[in-house]
Structures are given as C-alpha cells and as structure tokens.
Amino acid sequence: MGAQLRVYKRRIRSVTATKKITKAMEMISASRIVKAQRAVAASTPYADELTRAVTAVATRSNAKHPLTTENPNAARAAVLVIAADRGLAGGYSTNAIKQGVALSAKLRAEGKDVVTYLVGRKSVSYYNFRNLEVAGSWTGFSDKPTYGDAKMVAAELIEAFTAETGGVDELHLVSTKFESMLTQTAVDARLLPLKLDEVQLSDDRPAKAEIFPLYDFEPSAEGVLDALLPRYVESRIYNALLQSAASEHAARRRAMKSATDNAGELIKSLTRLANSARQAEITQEISEIVGGANALADASRGSE
C-alpha cells in the first residue's frame, strides 16, 4: 500500500509541474492576442484602401494588365499555406493545412498543376513527412510577422506569377481568419489574377459594389496597376499573416486553458486516490497493532 501511495504522490507532482507550464503559456498567449489584434486593426484600413484603389483602376479603365486579366488556359496555380511555427495550439495548424490540401485537390481536379508555398514549420513538417513537393517555404515569424516578412513572401510569389516561362497562372492564399477569441476559421482566396466580382474588403463587403470617383491615370492605367498590384499582394499577405498570428495565439490560449483545467481535475482525482490509499494504509497499521496487542494479551493470559 505504501508503494501505491508513493506512485500517486509522484504523479501529482508531475501533473502539478505540467499545470504550471500550461498556465504560464496560457497567460503569455492571452497577453500576445491583444497586440496581435491591434496589429490586425492597424493593417486592415491600409489593405482595404489598396483593394479599393486596385478595384477602381481595374473597373474604370480598359487596361489589359496580366495581374487583372484571367488566362482562359490556366495550367499552373500557386497555393500559399500559412500555418504556425510551434505546436500546442489545438487544431489551428491542422485546419489551415487541411484547407490547403482541399484547395490543391480542387485545383488539380480542374486540370491545373499546383505549386505549393508554405509559411510555418508545422506546414513544412507536414509536407516533408509526406514527401510532397514544395516550391518555397518561410519559417520563424508566424507568431509575430512584420511587413518585411510579407514583402519577402510576396516578392517570390509575384516573381513566379510574372515569369514568362515556368511561372504560374493563378495565386491562391490559405490562412486563418480571426473572428473572435473563440472562433478562428481557415479560409482560402484567389489573389491573382483579380476577380473583381469576388474581391472583398475586410468586413466581407464586395469591393466592386462601392461607388468610385472618376480618376485620371498618370502616366497610364497600366503604369498605375504595375505600381499598385504588388503593394496589393503584399498588403493582403501581411494582413493574412497578422490574422493568422492572432488566430494562433487565441487557439493556443484556448488549448492551454483546457490543458490547465484538465490538469486540475486530474490532480483532484489523484489526491482522492492518494487519500484513500493513505487511509487504507493507516487502517491496516491500526489493525496490525490491535492484532498484535490482542495476541500479547492472549499469550499473557495463557501463561497465567
């Protein structure tokens, strides 16, 4: 019985130590969510204004720009999947990767070759473990991305899209939209070429539905699109990175809170078992003492 009590106490110490770690991670994630939400709120107006500007140029001009003109014979599509660098975030990375796999399967069903780009160690590990081909990957900034990171990612994607040979005809983005502390949704969207009927602002309103003022383009609409569209891609990717970072922290906070609560329940259960084992041990010791005393008393009476 004493050995069993020692096992319970050792497990209680182990679970208590784990609970301290999960509680600390929960508090860290909770503090980082606020900063991530502020970053999302700061970047969203910029992304929306760029979206309006690009939509206005594409709508008010007859420019046939490669970034706004759809190729009817599209053969290759690039898919950028944004996941986390670290784990312990519940189903955050898994949901984003599943969304990317589903999108890739859909594009292949349309007869297109899929070129995959990845952000986050979790997505890289997933594709490497399955020996899936990856055209490019970036890691180390999923929980705190900067505009420089988004620009670095966008530069390679735009280069692949504008390449005369061996490039891609479409560019798709898979990320996680932060809706609330409890809800984060994996979404996908086509960035290039622009489908004006499908371009949406951050509040899910269609950009084309807005009434735009009349513009004069200098030096030309094509020149304006050459300048705006790379910035548009960068801003959309940056906003997606920030949304994903906020989603990652929220998912990790929720997962760590659940782990902390479960550890507390397990400690209570183990404590009850340990108390029962200690009570059984005490009862056994008392029984042995009483039995010994009775035996001595009987022996004493027998000698008389």
pLDDT grade for 226, boundaries at 50, 70 and 90? confident
Asked if residues 216 and 45 have their Cβ atoms less than 8 Å apart, the reply is no
137 part of a folded domain:
yes
Per-residue pLDDT reduced to its tens digit, 13-71: 999 999 999 999 989 888 888 888 888 888 888 877 777 777 777 666 666 666 677 77
Which positions ≥6 away from 263 have C-beta within 8 Å?
A: 15, 16, 18, 19, 22
Domain hosting residue 197, numbered range: 24-252
Maximum pairwise Cα distance, the chain: 126
Angle at 119 between CA 117 and CA 124, to 5 degrees: 80
pLDDT grade for 108, boundaries at 50, 70 and 90? very high
15 part of a folded domain:
no
pLDDT grade for 2, boundaries at 50, 70 and 90? low
155-171: buried (b, 16+ CB within 10 Å) or exposed (e) per residue? eebbebbeeeeeebbbb
How far apart are the C-alpha atoms of 191 and 281, rounded to whole Å? 69
224 part of a folded domain:
yes
For the segment 106-120, the average pLDDT, to the nearest whole number, is: 92
Q: Provide the sign of the torsion angle of the four alpha carbons 109, 115, 119, 122, taken in this order.
A: positive
274 part of a folded domain:
no
Asked if residues 80 and 171 have their Cβ atoms less than 8 Å apart, the reply is yes
pLDDT grade for 209, boundaries at 50, 70 and 90? very low
Q: What's the pLDDT at 139?
A: 94
How many Cα neighbours within 13 Å face the side chain of 118?
Answer: 26
For the segment 1-23, the average pLDDT, to the nearest whole number, is: 86
Selection from 176, 80, 83 nearest residue 122 by Cα: 83
How many structural domains compose the chain?
Answer: 1
96 part of a folded domain:
yes
Q: What DSSP character marks residue 214?
A: P
Selection from 119, 72, 130, 115 nearest residue 237 by Cα: 119
How far apart are the C-alpha atoms of 146 and 227, rounded to whole Å? 21
Per-residue pLDDT reduced to its tens digit, 147-166: 999 999 999 998 888 887 77
Q: Which range, of 135-144, 159-168, 203-212, 262-271, averages the lowest pLDDT?
A: 203-212
pLDDT grade for 93, boundaries at 50, 70 and 90? very high
Long-range own/partner contacts, residues 284-293 (CB < 8 A, 24 or more apart)? 284/1
How far apart are the C-alpha atoms of 38 and 171, rounded to whole Å? 28
Q: Tell me if residue 12 falls in helix, strand or coil.
A: helix
83 part of a folded domain:
yes
Residue 205 has pLDDT above 80, yes or no: no
Residue 219 has pLDDT above 80, yes or no: no
Sheet containing 184-192, strands listed edge to edge, beginning at the edge strand earlier in sequence: 136-138, 113-119, 76-82, 170-178, 184-192
What end-to-end distance do the CA atoms of the chain give, in Å? 38
What is the chain's mean pLDDT, rounded?
83
2 part of a folded domain:
no
pLDDT grade for 210, boundaries at 50, 70 and 90? low
How far apart are the C-alpha atoms of 162 and 277, rounded to whole Å? 72
Q: Tell me if residue 113 falls in helix, strand or coil.
A: strand
CATH number at residue 233: 3.40.1380.10
Asked if residues 252 and 15 have their Cβ atoms less than 8 Å apart, the reply is no
Whole-angstrom CA distances from 253 to 34, 183, 190 are: 12, 12, 30
261 part of a folded domain:
no
Asked if residues 142 and 83 have their Cβ atoms less than 8 Å apart, the reply is yes
